Structure 1
Amino acid sequence: MKHLIWLLFTTITSIAVYSNSTSAVVAELKHSDWDSVPSILAQIKSPEFPDRDFLVTDFGAIGDGNFDCHAAFQAAITECANSGGGRVVAPAGRWFVKGPIHLLSKVNLHLEKDATITFSTTPEDYLPMVLTRFEGTEVMNYSPLIYAFEQENIAITGEGVLDGQAGPNRWWNWKGHWGGADETGWHRGDPDQIKDVEKLVLLADAGVPPGERIFGKGHFLRSSFIQPYRSKNVLIEGVKFMNSPMWVINPVLSSNLTIRNVTVDSHGPNNDGCDPESCRNVLIENCLFNTGDDCIAIKSGRNVDGRRINVPSENIIIRGCTMKDGHGGVVLGSEMSGGIRNIFVEDCQMSSPQLERAIRLKSNSLRGGFLENLFVRNIEVGEVSEAVLSINLQYWDESGEFFPAVRNIFLENVTSQKCQYPLYLVGLPEQPIDHVYLKNCRFYNASEPSVIENVKHMFFLDVSQPR
């Protein structure tokens, strides 16, 4: 095969089939399913709203950054919904809300240019508790900063900023030891989330109903920034998110989602940029992610609880996005026990000394589930500190009897300028990674050869590691 440099693959172990014949690769690449993208896009309908505005100032809001506008926002949202829908408008100003914003059907929360909504960092302001997910497990906990439960046709739009105001000693310290006290404000002996995470997992494993998994006050599980839960026809467009307690954009069990022209700039612990969980028909386009964790991470529930609900994330299109800092650019897992399939990534740029991986799949045999049908093309990677493509099925050193199936991974026209490994593929002996395809890929200035363990059926066409 043309341009294949064998040093690229000097650490291959346990590989069943490795083919570099042009005919074999071309035949296998016919299974690539980009032709299905138009039909997926046709199912993603952005919500429509009546041409009617409800200014938060008409409901008593004052944009001086100090006055509590929470009641005004909720009154405007309720009036808008009861009137048949429209826009709830935050004009230019700094609007402080002492508690969560709960969206209702047919409401578009619109932030005009130079409008900033800032959120309280007092946890008790996010009571009463709501049904939410923490790291893929259902729980009764503090409300996300913006929340919608079983709503339809909702949006957040505009040119404004949503600032969660999280930081050292404000939500982030609940993570515990992460990067040192200077980054989160946590010090040895301070309370943290560790015992609560362990307790929640034990409750879920024991089959305790979600409504009886009571956390909230006196506990230390951080909330996501925005979470549409069991909702459909959702649009998030144009706005900027900053300083989230935890995951930023986190739709759960929702469908027909459009996330467009959004900026996420949040560097705290577990500050993933966009995490669709058990969602169907999702478009993420022309967004910028600069995060403290994965930029985009697709998920579907954790372990027993994920298998109980058993709803995959599927039919997700990611295009035209820019990824800067983060643990991974586009990530599948690790909370993926309900499965992930039919993911399309194209025309993205990823680069930063603090971006660890470009494309990342992570799971283990405690998770189970499947990761299948990932199609990636036309990706420019400037610099990543580890691998361009990373698949690790021994993630977090956890193991069990639910071996995840990972198969049908396609990369085409992917170029990187600097990395440690072009590929880091570590499967499981009991369930190897199956069918990996690379076509027209260039991995410049890789400092080490690829690592490939427990993989079968690999195909390469015009792949090289130039110096």
Structure 2
Amino acid sequence: MRNFLILSIILFLSNLVSGQHDDNARNDGIQEIVERIELPTIPEFSVSVLDFGAKGDSLANNKEAFDKAMSAIKKNGGGTIIVPKGVYTINGPIHFVSNVNLKLETGARLKFGSNPKDYPLVLTSWEGTMLYNYSPMIYGIDLENIAITGKGTIDGEAKDSWANWKELQEEDQLLSREMNHKGVPVKERIFGEGHFLRPQLIQFVNSENILIEDITIEDSPFWCLHLLKCNSATLRSLKYDAHNYNNDGIDLEYSRDVLIENVKFDNGDDNLAIKAGRDHEGRSNSDQASQNIVMRNCLLKGLHGVVIGSEMSAGVKNIFVDNCKAWGDLKRGIYFKTNPDRGGYMKDIYISNIELGRVEDLFFITANYHGEGEGFNSKISDIFINNVSSEEATGTAIVIEGYKDSKVEDVKLTNINVKKANNAITIKNTENVTFEGVIIGEEAGVPTTATKEEVTKF
């Protein structure tokens, strides 16, 4: 009895020390990333769009006024463009320059037009393939020190226009993938007129020191906020009301050193999707893995909460998600998806202190997304999930699926509580998956003593 007591104490202390070590490592990793991120430096100079003829009456086309304001800022070397209260129709994109803050004051709404001819072709990425397509509503490339702030709203006005292209996109979608696989030069991947790939609402490319804060995002044609090949970004206190097809809230692609915090998601697809290029092209950019990303203190509502993939061929690593809570139903809470077209890897993922309500699946890793592809299995390893709860999983609480020749490895789930689940766990083709304190359904207590009738029956 004495030896058993000593062993119990040793095991308890060992688990306690291990848990503290995991917490310290996670907190140190988060702090290191956050301290490295730089906020944009914006000169004191400012202008109002009203000074350039803008009218917030929802009727006038304010494209020229916003272009003139941006030119004035560029001539000065930077500054703030102030957008006062009002509804500003803009038939065409806003193209950013460096060292500028677009400040939308309370009650300001940017309402973008839906005529494709108003949106010139720009270098972008569509589902992980670089190409030229219609400009996003707000766009910038090769910039530094850029910000969108204030309590205003950016409205893509897409539900009765761009959103309808979803049904028309398949031919162009397949063409872009073919160009990727065949290595067609990017300069020859021309879409736009006669094609039906929807543009993003907000996109910055190859830019650094970015702040997007406080704004509300609505009615996007495609992905809402897309950072492509960006470095050092803070996305803070955003709000969403975007429910069209593929209205991902935040997409990070080939990007690093990003802080996402205090965001209230309510969008029609993934809340956060971390990506890194697709297939042949993504694998050729293995030095541009998406990495060093922190998401914390966010409210989740949409299709999926936290997603990695499926376009992740350059790799995804060093990801921290902490202290987030659902304020509505989700299809999947935590979702990692790839297939044998992708290659690449997912590793060093730390997810902790997540509180979800009703989901279909709480935690889902699949190396067979859409059941397609061959020849380029992805490597998934070093995943740490701690202190996650859900009220109900109508599908399966935990799913981890690798391949026989490319197993999912080194996954640790600690303190997972699902109060009710249709199915508990599916695990296939894995190695070194560990569970500590995982409860699915009602927690088992002290075993009951067999009754006389049961003894007789058995």
User: Fold-level match, TM-score > 0.5?
Assistant: yes
AA matched with 1:175: K
CA displacement, residues 321-376 of structure 1 (integer Å, 9 cap, x when unaligned): 011122x10100000001000000001002533x1011110000101110111101
**Equivalent residue number for residue 174 of structure 1:** 165
CA displacement at 1:122 relative to structure 2: 1.1
CA displacement at 1:101 relative to structure 2: 0.5
- Three-state SS of the structure 2 residue aligned to 1:462 is strand
AA matched with 2:162: W
Bigger drift between 61-70 and 416-425 goes to 416-425
Matched, 1:55 2:32: no
Matched, 1:201 2:192: no
CA displacement at 1:412 relative to structure 2: 1.0
Q: Contact between 2:204 and 2:228, CA under 8 Å: does it hold in 1?
A: yes
| Runs of 4+ residues deviating >4 angstroms | 21-32
**Equivalent residue number for residue 299 of structure 2:** 322
Bigger drift between 60-69 and 456-465 goes to 456-465
CA distance in 2, matches of 1:143, 1:195: 20
Determine which of 131, 134, 147 is the counterpart of 2:126: 134
Q: Contact between 1:25 and 1:461, CA under 8 Å: does it hold in 2?
A: no
CA distance in 2, matches of 1:209, 1:465: 51
CA displacement, residues 388-408 of structure 1 (integer Å, 9 cap, x when unaligned): 111011001112111100011
- Three-state SS of the structure 2 residue aligned to 1:439 is strand
Q: Contact between 1:25 and 1:437, CA under 8 Å: does it hold in 2?
A: no
CA displacement, residues 135-174 of structure 1 (integer Å, 9 cap, x when unaligned): 0100011001110010000000000000000114x11111
Counting only pairs closer than 5 Å after superposition, residues 413-432 of structure 1 correspond to structure 2 as 413-420=387-394, 421-432=396-407
Q: Contact between 2:215 and 2:238, CA under 8 Å: does it hold in 1?
A: yes
CA distance in 1, matches of 2:432, 2:74: 54
Matched, 1:261 2:252: no
**Equivalent residue number for residue 366 of structure 2:** 392
CA displacement at 1:28 relative to structure 2: 9.2
Runs (5+) with no aligned partner, structure 1: 1-20, 177-191
CA distance in 2, matches of 1:140, 1:399: 25
**Equivalent residue number for residue 188 of structure 2:** 212
**Equivalent residue number for residue 264 of structure 2:** 288
Q: Contact between 1:24 and 1:459, CA under 8 Å: does it hold in 2?
A: no
- Three-state SS of the structure 1 residue aligned to 2:51 is helix
CA displacement at 1:458 relative to structure 2: 1.3
CA distance in 2, matches of 1:398, 1:291: 27
Determine which of 327, 338, 352 is the counterpart of 1:363: 338
CA distance 1:367–1:24, shift in 2 (3 Å): farther
Determine which of 304, 308, 322 is the counterpart of 2:284: 308
Q: Contact between 1:29 and 1:437, CA under 8 Å: does it hold in 2?
A: no
- Three-state SS of the structure 2 residue aligned to 1:217 is coil
Bigger drift between 31-40 and 341-350 goes to 31-40
**Equivalent residue number for residue 342 of structure 1:** 318
Runs (5+) with no aligned partner, structure 2: 1-10, 443-458
CA distance in 1, matches of 2:132, 2:284: 17
- Three-state SS of the structure 2 residue aligned to 1:250 is strand
CA distance in 2, matches of 1:347, 1:258: 17
CA distance in 2, matches of 1:434, 1:131: 37
AA matched with 1:56: V
Q: Contact between 1:426 and 1:453, CA under 8 Å: does it hold in 2?
A: yes
AA matched with 2:384: F
**Equivalent residue number for residue 224 of structure 2:** 248
CA displacement at 1:31 relative to structure 2: 6.3
Q: Contact between 2:222 and 2:246, CA under 8 Å: does it hold in 1?
A: yes
What is the TM-score normalised by the length of structure 2? 0.91
Determine which of 274, 291, 312 is the counterpart of 2:250: 274
CA distance 1:28–1:394, shift in 2 (3 Å): farther
**Equivalent residue number for residue 11 of structure 1:** none
CA distance in 2, matches of 1:264, 1:308: 34
Determine which of 102, 124, 145 is the counterpart of 2:137: 145
Counting matched residue pairs gives: 427
CA distance in 2, matches of 1:348, 1:77: 37
Q: Contact between 2:166 and 2:245, CA under 8 Å: does it hold in 1?
A: yes
CA displacement, residues 19-40 of structure 1 (integer Å, 9 cap, x when unaligned): xx87589759956741222111
CA distance in 2, matches of 1:317, 1:103: 26
- Three-state SS of the structure 2 residue aligned to 1:282 is strand
Counting only pairs closer than 5 Å after superposition, residues 374-453 of structure 1 correspond to structure 2 as 374-384=349-359, 386-420=360-394, 421-453=396-428
CA displacement at 1:453 relative to structure 2: 1.0
Q: Contact between 1:25 and 1:460, CA under 8 Å: does it hold in 2?
A: no
Higher percent of residues as strand: 2
**Equivalent residue number for residue 43 of structure 1:** 36
| Higher Rg of the two aligned structures | 2
Matched, 1:112 2:86: no
CA displacement at 1:206 relative to structure 2: 1.4
Matched, 1:237 2:213: yes
CA distance in 1, matches of 2:60, 2:229: 35
CA displacement at 1:465 relative to structure 2: 1.6
Q: CA RMSD in A?
A: 1.6
AA matched with 1:88: I
AA matched with 2:123: L
CA distance in 2, matches of 1:292, 1:397: 23
